[in-house]
């Protein structure tokens, strides 16, 4: 069953009735990148004329922008908003620190597409330590005392949390590498033992040709296992 919206008057047929909500897959091209995107339309139940959603004319544009961001690796609007909110500052304050207009940041957070330059700037700002060192310490003179205190406190907390997380990850990484190293050493020792065994067998063999053949075959197998161990 199709979803319907409240009654509207159709501009084409003049009928006032509920409109059907339909989803249509359409081809979109943004800055040279083409992709399929699902759009929402309201359709008159009488003449079947389709309209952009009356209550949100920009919804299809923002849907396209979101998918474009996914395809090109740009930050999503909600991610950018989350970065700012983690610092506990307003859009106006964040924009001032990044030297972009308040209107630009507001539009980006609400779904408009950011430029690659702004995306790089926002990515740099997403790292608490980088933001503290390169932005807060050099531009805090632009802020009120209240903003300085709030932002400074939040940055210290986020940096400490980030450091703790990195420290834990490094510890886990070292443990994994230690296990792999020990495992590799055990394998190499075992292979050395196998090689010595082959040499001893060949040294007492009456057939030189047989010994050389066995050496080539077993030596090749051992080298293969060493390579596999190194690529684990």
Query: Measuring CA to CA, which residue among 114, 108, 115, 74 is closest to residue 91?
Result: 108
68, 29: one domain? yes
d(Cα 49, Cα 56) in Å, to the nearest integer?
18
81, 67: one domain? no
The mean pLDDT value of the chain amounts to 82
Last residue of a domain, one of 110, 135, 163: 163
d(Cα 160, Cα 154) in Å, to the nearest integer?
10
Let me know if residue 49 belongs to a domain.
yes
Segment (H or E) for 5: strand 3-9
Let me know if residue 213 belongs to a domain.
no
Let me know if residue 31 belongs to a domain.
yes
Q: What is the DSSP string of 65-132?
A: HHHHHHHHTPPPHHHHHHHHHHHT--HHHHHHHHTS-HHHHHHHHTTPPPPHHHHHHHHHHTSHHHHI
Q: What was the pLDDT predicted at 28? A: 96
26, 56: one domain? yes
Report the b/e string of 53-72 with b at 16+ CB within 10 A.
beeeeeebbebbbbbbbeee
58, 93: one domain? no
137, 150: one domain? yes
Q: What was the pLDDT predicted at 184? A: 67
CB half-sphere exposure, 49, CA atoms < 13 A: 12
Let me know if residue 199 belongs to a domain.
no
Let me know if residue 220 belongs to a domain.
no
The tally of domains found in the chain comes to 2
Q: What was the pLDDT predicted at 8? A: 82
d(Cα 136, Cα 150) in Å, to the nearest integer?
12
Let me know if residue 4 belongs to a domain.
no
d(Cα 21, Cα 116) in Å, to the nearest integer?
35
User: Is the pLDDT reported for residue 232 higher than 90?
Assistant: no
Let me know if residue 90 belongs to a domain.
yes
d(Cα 139, Cα 38) in Å, to the nearest integer?
43
Task: Compute the Cα dihedral for 166, 172, 175, 177 and give only its sign.
Answer: negative
Tokens of 76: 């999503």
131, 111: one domain? yes
Residue 116: give the domain boundaries. 77-163
Q: Are 119 and 98 in contact (CB under 8 A)?
A: no
Let me know if residue 223 belongs to a domain.
no
Provide the percentage of residues in the chain whose pLDDT is more than 70: 68
81, 159: one domain? yes
95, 121: one domain? yes
Last residue of a domain, one of 135, 163, 191: 163
pLDDT in tens, 153-186: 999 999 888 776 455 555 555 566 666 666 666 7
Whole-prediction pTM value?
A: 0.65
54, 93: one domain? no
Q: What was the pLDDT predicted at 63? A: 95
Query: Measuring CA to CA, which residue among 57, 20, 26 is closest to residue 39?
Result: 26
84, 64: one domain? no
82, 63: one domain? no
Query: Measuring CA to CA, which residue among 86, 89, 65 is closest to residue 77?
Result: 65
Q: Are 113 and 68 in contact (CB under 8 A)?
A: yes
d(Cα 157, Cα 124) in Å, to the nearest integer?
18
Q: What is the dihedral of CA 11, 16, 18, 19, to 10 degrees?
A: -10
63, 108: one domain? no
Last residue of a domain, one of 72, 87, 111: 72
User: Is the pLDDT reported for residue 96 higher than 50?
Assistant: yes
pLDDT in tens, 186-226: 766 666 666 666 556 555 555 444 545 554 555 556 555 55
């Amino acid at each position: 069953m199709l979803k319907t919206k409240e009654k509207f008057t159709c501009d084409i047929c003049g009928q006032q009735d509920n409109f059907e909500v339909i989803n249509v897959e359409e081809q979109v091209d943004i800055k040279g990148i083409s992709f399929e995107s699902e759009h929402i339309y309201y359709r008159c139940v009488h003449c079947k004329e389709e309209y952009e959603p009356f209550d949100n004319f920009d919804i299809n544009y923002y849907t396209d922008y979101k998918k474009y961001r996914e395809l090109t690796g740009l930050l999503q609007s909600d991610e950018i908003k989350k970065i700012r909110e983690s610092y506990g500052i307003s859009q106006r304050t964040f924009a001032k620190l990044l030297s972009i207009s308040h209107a630009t940041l507001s539009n980006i957070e609400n779904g408009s597409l950011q430029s690659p330059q702004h995306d790089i700037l926002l990515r740099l700002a997403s790292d608490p330590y980088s933001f503290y060192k390169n932005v807060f310490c050099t531009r805090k003179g632009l802020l009120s005392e209240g903003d300085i205190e709030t932002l400074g406190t939040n940055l210290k907390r986020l940096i400490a949390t980030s450091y703790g997380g990195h420290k834990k990850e490094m510890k886990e990484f070292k443990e994994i590498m230690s296990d792999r190293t020990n495992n590799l050493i055990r394998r190499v020792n075992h292979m050395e033992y196998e090689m010595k065994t082959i040499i001893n067998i060949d040294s007492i063999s009456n057939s030189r040709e047989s010994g050389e053949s066995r050496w080539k075959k077993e030596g090749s197998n051992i080298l293969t296992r060493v390579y596999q161990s190194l690529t684990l």
